[in-house]
Amino acid sequence: MEKQMGHEKPNSFCLEHRESNGLQAVSCDENMEASDGELEDETVRPAKRISITESNMKSRYATEFHELEKIGSGEFGSVFKCVKRLDGCIYAIKRSKKPLAGSIDEQNALREVYAHAVLGQHSHVVRYFSAWAEDDHMLIQNEYCNGGSLADAITENYRNMRYFSEPELKDLLLQVARGLKYIHSMSLVHMDIKPSNIFISRTSIPATIPEEGDDDDWSSSKVVFKIGDLGHVTRISSPQVEEGDSRFLANEVLQENYNHLPKADIFALALTVVCAAGAEPLPANGDQWHEIRQGKLPRIPQVLSQELLDLLKAMINSDPEKRPSAVGLVKHSALLSTARKSAEQLRIELNAEKFKNSLLQKELKKAQMAKAAAEERAQFDRMTTRSTTQNRTSRLTGKKMNRSVSLTIY
């Protein structure tokens, strides 16, 4: 990665607005300082391009952050839990391995930075703050998720002989689907969805008081799932695909068919949920690997509703066009439980109830009007009957007939 800079020694590497690997990046480091020296004359010397490996500044990492502990490691490098000295907040700092320059790790690191810069901020995507280089290392400052990764939670569940329950699985599926919906809406695809790339943020205060029998640790009001590790992100149009974990890889991607890339994320999400449900570790190849790509779910050691199983099967359909989209998942009835229906679904139901109430009110009004009319007719009939009876009884003849007397006084 290169950046155009002056001839003075740089204080830090700064990612600016540019394009690479089909993604755009925006400024992410506002602390770029001016050169501490002055030009010898008024002539401006030609700018010099330096790569990230040439940055020979004082360590920004050591100056701005206090390292607390190492919280993870992988192919890219290591992740450290750090406190930023300036604001006292905790961040996750990813530090790449050596050597970085010209390697696939450098490409993935830059791809991740660019993807974060394009995506901005979303509640179900790990938030990005800054990126810079020191010596041969790329460092990325991200949001710290205090619940670790989903892979850590699955491992812990395995030790304790428990699984994610069906409500938890639905919550996981719905939240990650929302993150994918946002990523896909930006014309990007993740291409490496798996448990180790889903992170958990636990809040200390639930939004609502848990009802009796709720699992307090996994109440949806206290756990937020976030998509991280964007090193394989690429554009849907003109993609540059770097294949992710083969255990979660859709067959069409392996066959270099990139016509339905968002559906590859859906395929990987289904297998991620299957892992959380307690399935055995997924195969990286072999007969079982092919069976899964033919639409057969791995064995799940707990009883799940047929509705959820059917949804998971649809998500791993061998035909990517038949898999639901992220938008479809977010609105799917299987994920809209009574406690966590989406605002859109609630609005639809509210309108339906209003329509029903309107019809009932019209029917009630008609009934009331009909009742009033019937009572009026009945009263009229009674009055008519009474008048007729009186007329009949008053028809007297002869000396018994009533006489009318009129007196006029002058």
pLDDT in the model for residue 394? 55
Catalytic residues: 192
How far apart, in whole angstroms, are the C-alpha atoms of residue 240 and residue 362? 61
Distance, CA of 251 to CA of 257 (rounded, Å): 9
Q: Which residue has the higher pLDDT, 69 or 387?
A: 69
Query: Which residue type is seen at 297?
Result: L
Distance CA 13, CA 135 (A): 10
Q: Which residues pair with 281 in a beta bridge?
A: none
Query: For the residues 140-166, what does the mean pLDDT come to?
Result: 94
Question: What is the reported pLDDT for 246?
Answer: 94
**Calpha distance 166→2 (Å, rounded):** 48
Distance (Å, whole) CA 377 – CA 365: 18
Beta strands in 230-348 (DSSP E): 234-235
Strand (E) or helix (H) holding 18: strand 18-20
Residue ranges per structural domain of the chain: 2-32+48-143, 150-207+218-348
Of the listed ranges 236-245, 334-343, 349-358, the least confidently predicted one is 334-343
Would the pLDDT of 16 be above 90? Answer: no
What is the mean predicted confidence (pLDDT) over 136-157? 93
Comparing 21-30, 111-120, 184-193, 384-393, which segment has the lowest mean pLDDT?
Answer: 21-30
Q: Residue 279 has which token pair?
A: 């399935």
Please, which pLDDT band fits residue 371 given cuts at 50, 70 and 90? confident
Q: Please give the average per-residue pLDDT across 343-366, as a whole number.
A: 76
User: Alpha carbon 133 to chain centroid distance?
Assistant: 31
Pick the more confident residue, 364 or 331. Answer: 331
In this predicted structure, what is the pLDDT of residue 279?
95
- Domain 150-207+218-348 of CATH type 3.30.565.10: no
Q: Give residue-wise pLDDT tens across range 297-326.
A: 999 999 999 999 999 999 999 999 999 999
**Residue predicted with more confidence, 121 or 36:** 121
Per-residue pLDDT at 349:
64
Decide which of 108 and 250 is more confident: 250
Which pTM does this prediction carry? 0.67
Give the residue, 108 or 193, on which the prediction is more confident: 193
Tell me: cis bond preceding 99? Omega within 30 of 0 counts: yes
Reported as a single tens digit per residue, the pLDDT across 238-294 is: 888 888 899 999 999 999 999 999 999 999 999 999 999 999 999 999 999 999 999
Q: What percent of the chain has pLDDT over 90?
A: 49
Residue 1 has pLDDT above 70, yes or no: no
Measure the CA–CA gap between 39 and 45, rounded to whole angstroms: 9
Assigned token pair, 34: 């001016």
Architecture of the domain whose range is 2-32+48-143: 2-Layer Sandwich (3.30)
Average pLDDT over all residues of the chain: 78
Give me the pLDDT at residue 348, please: 72
For the record, the structure tokens of 174 come out as: 């719905």
Q: Give 73's pLDDT tier (boundaries 50, 70, 90).
A: confident
pLDDT of 55 above 60:
no
Closest CA to 202 of 183, 213, 214, 216: 216
pLDDT at 83 over 70: yes
Instruction: Provide the pLDDT for residue 80.
Output: 96
Is the pLDDT confidence value at 48 over 70? no
